[in-house]
Amino acid sequence: MAVGIFDSGLGGLTVLDAVAKRLPDLPLVYLGDSANAPYGVRTPDDIYNLTTGATQRLFDAGCDLVILACNTASAAALRRMQEGWVPEGKRVLGVFVPLIEALTERQWGDNSPPREVKTKHVALFATPATVSSRAFQRELAFRAIGVDVEAQACGGVVDAIEEGDMILAEALVNSHVDALKRKMPEPDAAVLGCTHYPLMAQAFQKALGPDVKVFSQAELVAESLADYLERRPDMVGPGTASAFLTTGDPAQVSSRATQFLRRQITFDAA
C-alpha cells in the first residue's frame, strides 16, 4: 500500500515529511535522482526521459500512484506523461495544482470556469526550466482570470541547498527577490515553485516583506493527497515497506538528507 514520491534530488523530502505527518500509516517510497540533479537547467526531453525512468522504478517498487514532488518535472514532463506514457491502472500527479487551488481559493476538483480572485499580482520563484515552461501560468489560467504573474528564475539556489550551503542560498534568495521586485515592486503573493524552497521560506518572507503572503507546497500537497486517497483508496499500491532510493552515492545522499530533515535518513541505491 505504498505511494511513490519522486524528486530530482532532496527537495521532495519536504513533501515526504509533510505527507508522513498527515498520513503516518502510509508507506512511502522516495526516489531522488541525485546523479542527474539539478533538473532546472536541463532540456524538456531530457527531463521527460529522466522522469519517466524514475517513475517506472517507483511503479516497480509497488507504487500505483507517484507524486512528482519536483516542480521542474511537473512543469516539463507531467502533461506529456499523462497523455501518452502512464500505464493503465497507474497515476502520476504533480505539485502545481494544490498550490494554485490554495492561491485561487478553489476546492479540489472544482472545474467551474475561471473567475476573478482577490490576488492580482503573483511573484513566482522557480527553476529556469519551470519558468520557461510557463506551466504555472497555464494551470492558473484554467482557474483564475486577471492575475498578473511575474516569474523569476532562481539559478543556483537548488545547488546551494543540495550542498548544504545555506549562507549562499540565502544570499541568492535575496538577489533573486531584488530582481523580481524591479519587475513587480508590490506583489500580493509569492509562490515558492520548487520543493527545495520551503527550507528558505523565512529568507523569502524576510526579503519580500511581511505584507506578501508566501505560498509553499509541502503541506498543501499532503492535504491534497489525503483527500485524493480518501476518494480513491484503490490507488494505494501493493507495496508495504517505506524506502529511500537514490541514483547518487547512498552514503553521501544519506548524510545530506539527514541534515536536510534533521532526522536520520538512510538511502539505498535505486
Residue 38, preceding peptide bond in cis (omega within 30° of 0): yes
The alpha-helical segments, DSSP class H, found in the chain are: 13-22, 44-60, 71-76, 78-84, 96-104, 128-133, 135-141, 157-162, 166-183, 201-208, 218-231, 250-261
Q: Where are the domains of the chain?
A: 2-94+218-269, 97-215
Closest CA to 219 of 66, 73, 75, 14: 14
Q: Which residues are catalytic?
A: 70, 194
Residues 81-140: pLDDT tens digits? 999 999 999 999 999 888 888 888 887 667 789 999 999 999 999 999 899 999 999 989
Cell numbers describing residue 214: 508566501
Return the CATH fold of 97-215: Rossmann fold (3.40.50)
CATH no. of 2-94+218-269: 3.40.50.1860
pLDDT tens sequence for the chain (270 residues): 689 999 999 999 999 999 999 999 999 999 999 999 889 889 999 999 999 999 999 999 999 999 999 999 999 999 999 999 999 999 999 998 888 888 888 876 677 899 999 999 999 999 998 999 999 999 899 999 999 999 999 999 988 988 889 999 999 999 999 999 999 999 999 999 998 898 899 999 999 999 999 998 898 999 999 999 999 888 887 878 899 999 999 999 999 899 888 889 999 999
Are domains 2-94+218-269 and 97-215 of this chain identical in fold?
yes
The secondary structure of residue 160, as a DSSP letter, is: H
Cell numbers describing residue 192: 515558492
